[in-house]
Structure 1
Amino acid sequence: MSDEQNLGEQALGKIAEIAITSQLDETKDVNVDISTDPLKIMQGKVDAVSITGEGMVMKQDLRVEALGVSIDSVSIDPIKAIVGEIELTEPANAQVQVLLTEADINRALSSAYLRDKMQNLTIQAQGNTVLFDIQEARLRLPRTGEMDLDVSLLLKPEDDVKQFSATARPFLEDDGQRIALEILNAEGQGLTLEFVTILMEKIIELLDLRNFDLNGTSIRLKDFDIQAGKVLIRGASVVDKFSSKQ
């Protein structure tokens, strides 16, 4: 029974690996470990799924250095699994860890996907509506718990280019639905602290993983840990689909 069980788990794991890699533009490594038994497979039940990956690049050029997902109690269509397709019959709850490097974050900021979202932005500051484009944004993670951001923006309709740099300490608000910032210091060309704070929060909002197409997965942030050059993000997610065929 154990050999049969291992073969079933390995087969499902391989199908899931193919499912995940087919949705990525690039990946260094993806491993899926499935825990179940043959009887449960025939009933469409899986006890647990563990997914790990390295160097994964998603469709909008979002790269993650490392990814870990743990899922308990998964329900699948057993008939489709036999023919090489994994389809969830109900959403599954998961715990997620994502490791992003400073280079990963700046890659996302310079991607066509986010560059398009950085055009014709509006924010409310000092009772006025400000229209602008973000021409360039670079983020640095030089120390624990803090981030530095250098931004060049074009104010409209004056076509006035402004530049600023700021250091901030991010923290979670609204039960993990929003990342807020405590501005520690800022330097800018005629820009108020209120404007800089709102603008930085807008950029962090653009970097929110929930703005990227994660193939049927929604994420609620639980906490994050910023270290020099990298950030580890922990969250809870609901996985709706694998979007796959072998």
Structure 2
Amino acid sequence: MLGGFTGFQDSQGKDWGENLLNSVASKTIRHLFTHSDLVDVEVRCSPPGKLLQGSIDSFKMSGRGLVIRKAFRAEELNFETDAVVLDFGSVLKGGIALKQPTQAIAQVKLAEPDINTAFEAPLIRQRLENLTDPQLLSLSDGAPVSFGNVKMELLPNNGVNLQAAARWSERAVPLALSCTLGVERRRRIRFNSLQFRDEAIPEDRRDLSGKLTGVMGDILNNMVDLDRFNLDGVTMRINRLETQGRFLVFSGYAQIEHVPRIG
């Protein structure tokens, strides 16, 4: 019976099996995100009969307005896998199970407002609040310090201007820095060539602000590690990042051990 189905094509020339896999894959991927404006999936398999053995040439996905873990929004996400070997029986049951790992090339575009919103996410806030690093305590008379009101401005050539505030007890100190974004070991975002922007700080608070800005720069450099954000069964690595107007674009690859069950 399945052999008969694989001979059926729709008006666009797509095989029944490809249509089924497209539908199941679209549903599976949408469930990885809290919200999605668009998810478009395309399966490439030639000849179509290979699909019954679980073999497809590539799997391509394009998405817009994707929200991960209720807090991290990507303006665009595109990826395309190498050849994939899957259990076609899982597709018939409405799921996708890989028989062996595969790789995908990927590109992610983040908008400046979404980056700033992400600084308010619980996963980020827990690394910026009630800090008791000895260097900070020496500047705050022993009180825990929290960094907030983080605003990042993307500039050409991977440049960034960043403003924030350090708070403890009843005190608030404004912070301002400039830097360039880079990648370390293909998984960690680095804030390189940090410079204190003293012209943005009132003169009577510049000395303390400069010291606190330096500490915050160290915190940022140890915070954005892709291994903390990987989806279940997926390891991501960055080959390149660049600022494009008010967008930050990452290009890289993903090693997929199994299809994630939750984002």
Q: Establish whether TM, by shorter chain, passes 0.5.
A: yes
| 1:231, distance to aligned residue in structure 2 (A) | 0.8
- One of 93, 114, 123 as aligned partner of 1:113: 123
Q: Considering only CA atoms, is the larger Rg found in Structure 1 or Structure 2?
A: 2
CA-based RMSD: 3.0
Distance 1:149 1:172 in 2: 18
- One of 137, 159, 162 as aligned partner of 1:146: 159
Q: Which residue of 1 aligns with 2:25?
A: 16
* Structure 1, unpaired ranges of 5+: none
| 1:226, distance to aligned residue in structure 2 (A) | 0.7
Q: Which residue of 2 aligns with 1:35?
A: 44
Query: TM-score, normalized by length of structure 2?
Result: 0.79
- One of 89, 98, 110 as aligned partner of 1:88: 98
- Contact conserved, 2:187 with 2:226, CA < 8 A, in 1? no
Structure 1 residues 111 and 178, CA gap change in structure 2 (3 angstroms): closer
- Contact conserved, 1:23 with 1:215, CA < 8 A, in 2? no
- Contact conserved, 2:226 with 2:237, CA < 8 A, in 1? no
Q: Which residue of 2 aligns with 1:26?
A: 35
Q: Which residue of 2 aligns with 1:212?
A: 229
Farther off after superposition, 94-103 or 211-220? 211-220
Q: Which residue of 2 aligns with 1:181?
A: 192
Q: Which residue of 2 aligns with 1:163?
A: 174
Q: Which residue of 2 aligns with 1:137?
A: 150
Instruction: State whether structure 2 residue 234 is matched by structure 1 residue 221.
Output: no
Distance 1:65 1:163 in 2: 30
- Contact conserved, 1:172 with 1:178, CA < 8 A, in 2? yes
Paired residue secondary structure (1:13) = helix
Distance 1:77 1:106 in 2: 41
| 1:154, distance to aligned residue in structure 2 (A) | 2.7
Distance 2:166 2:147 in 1: 4
Paired residue secondary structure (1:149) = strand
- Which string of whole-angstrom CA distances, capped at 9 and with x for unpartnered residues, describes residues 85-135 of structure 1? 101222211111000010110111122332233223455759x89953223
Q: Which residue of 1 aligns with 2:83?
A: 73
Query: TM-score, normalized by length of structure 1?
Result: 0.84
Farther off after superposition, 235-244 or 9-18? 235-244
The letter of the residue matching 1:7 is W
Structure 1 residues 44 and 123, CA gap change in structure 2 (3 angstroms): farther
Farther off after superposition, 188-197 or 37-46? 188-197
Structure 1 residues 186 and 47, CA gap change in structure 2 (3 angstroms): same
| 1:67, distance to aligned residue in structure 2 (A) | 0.6
Farther off after superposition, 166-175 or 226-235? 166-175
- Which string of whole-angstrom CA distances, capped at 9 and with x for unpartnered residues, describes residues 12-65 of structure 1? 111111001112111110011111144322222221011100001111410000
The letter of the residue matching 2:257 is D
Paired residue secondary structure (1:214) = coil
- Contact conserved, 2:155 with 2:245, CA < 8 A, in 1? yes
Paired residue secondary structure (1:117) = coil
Distance 1:22 1:97 in 2: 20
- Contact conserved, 2:175 with 2:209, CA < 8 A, in 1? no
What is the identity percentage for the equivalent residue pairs of Structure 1 and Structure 2? 21
- Which string of whole-angstrom CA distances, capped at 9 and with x for unpartnered residues, describes residues 170-228 of structure 1? 12233454524112443364347675345235336534444325343221111111122
Paired residue secondary structure (2:129) = coil
